[in-house]
Chains A and B, each alone.
Chain A
């Protein structure tokens, strides 16, 4: 008995240790997490990285790395292996968690790390064949020896970093989630690229378009989805003559009518996804050298999607931004050329209605015969839950998803399962890294074009400028050769006429080189004028950004970097300029009170710029949303997904016929006019704004209402930044809006000495305890750019840098 107090105390102590080393719900194990030397406190970076002169396992030759004042690494290596090994090592060192999260997401493995809440997302990733596509890509890469070498070197670099880590050194997020990193493989690089394809080339309206056609009829489709906007200024100028015959394809006599399906897009593409790029020829610039500019718009996160790096090796010297998990530079420049990208959004994803022989789904009907399916067993491991086994059936089209359909003849609301097979570009073997490898080394236009032949998806508008004085733009990717409208609706999975019948030959791809107008540009708008002989897609960004850019570039002469910078930050809203005057003319002013009239006055004098300090953009956006809703809500009353007209198309319709048939709310007795609708929606919009932001005051500033947050990739509180007072808008060239927008702004002037500027909303380090985690956000928000240090030779010992700057460089000298 005398040892009882001791035993109790010992037991209490051990229990305490157990409690502190266990994860409770979302609370990390508090012992190791709060440890002042090993826990989150240890993640605080008190000193910048320091000089290093050491042996480094895994290298073949000596390597030098210089970190500049923004901690951008500049890698000087003697061979490709060391170059991409170092890129892998450095990216992992700064962004390991992000690299892993992105590839776990692509592979449908998030529930392994997080738990049951992400099972549905994982299941969708598996059913979309993300790993299937990535495995095909790896097989393709292996066929090309130098690509495979890069993949392996890059992986080895990442793994060199991972294996150097003790658990106490794991990045913060690992400690929060109580997980450890796993080795990197080439498959993960392929998965990352598939994730980009999913982000940028998975948009489709097949189901909703089919439903819209069935619900509203073909005239409606023609009215709202077939016509180009009058102000559309296509990427390839309409003056371009297509002097070839298209490769013919056979089409069915009548269009297949699919069942009305309830499936919804599991990975909705937010409107924030878009981009701008342009290049102006030396004839239009003050310096006489071409200038190229690019700002890809994506979801904004911390850490940023991009990682800035300079790679210098045998036969190459390139600088730009890279993706976390992929070797090479994706957007950037070298000593002769610069390039940038915007998304194309061709229809490279189609759904096919499948007829299985029976519930075993072993055979399906196609081309007048039963064909055999294959099956892929997907095991979804769930943290704190049971492993889920999902069998995915594959047809020759691709993997099959089950969706529910509305039985239109039977009772309302009854459903039956139907099967949609996915035909998607992401499942075609491809090797995009080879394209970037060659782009990074390309010295002129011809080598640029050759590099692009290896690029398949997600299709991009590649803008180009060179020190030779050339400018060009290629609508580039692999495009199925389709009959007009093919794949716009859900296709007949039994009829080979609906299969993809080959590809648009490269020589028929839309491109323009050194056009007479002296510039090229793209802003996700339609690639070509309607006379282009092939069908690519019917969904493009509204005309607004593209038209604004072209208008400004036409007007400008003696262009400087500052002009380009101003255009990147241009907040003009073509959308408001088009429709607001009409909206103001419709409003019945006698039904407004004093405050409402005051707000209305502010719209009367607005110059259509989405500037942070204006209140008018806040009012206009809410008003437009309300009006849009009031016009459509009564017609769009189905309980299955329908397609809604694009913003610019509805504007045009209203301007042509302001009292067209949808304006009246048919659920009411009276006939509403556009005047009624405009006035009512104006008042509703003000009520909403008052509820959200209080009385009409500076709190209504667009800078706040734009609601620009940059969250952490896991949406964890505290790791992002909130309420950035920002200018911009969905329809402005500066397409900043809540949590998405320009993810990288870059300007390159292609003189004998390349000059370049850039910024992205984040910082080199992915460590929330580093000052380099988010240090560029303020510059990004206010439109400032950093001059990029592009070294032709290792900067130490050379006179190319002022003393001050070379002192701020940190140098690593590494030897094998």
Chain B
């Protein structure tokens, strides 16, 4: 997703305005004329100044670039779906890991993604079988991170 400098500038000016607007409502430090809003206000001013700089620079060279271009990831339908699946995998982990447990959730994610990215079913199955176990051994057994047990808990305990 590629924005032209002018479009990027508009986004930055908007972001700066939003930050400054929110920071205006922050309370003041007692006895001073400023408070927790001062620093965010400076940052917002910086963002907006950069945005204006980008707009002016692009305007001087004649606004010839398209406002928006898809770029290599968003422009390719297959890569776009890959990226969606990747983000969906993170979402699935968030939703399912606590109920199903770490190992089954990770196995599903690996099976789907490895196969999707072009490996054979056999390789995908092997990765889905061994990968979660290796990560589980490293984090849960060695480093004592409480990875969710989920379904396994009812068998193990």
A and B part of one assembly: no
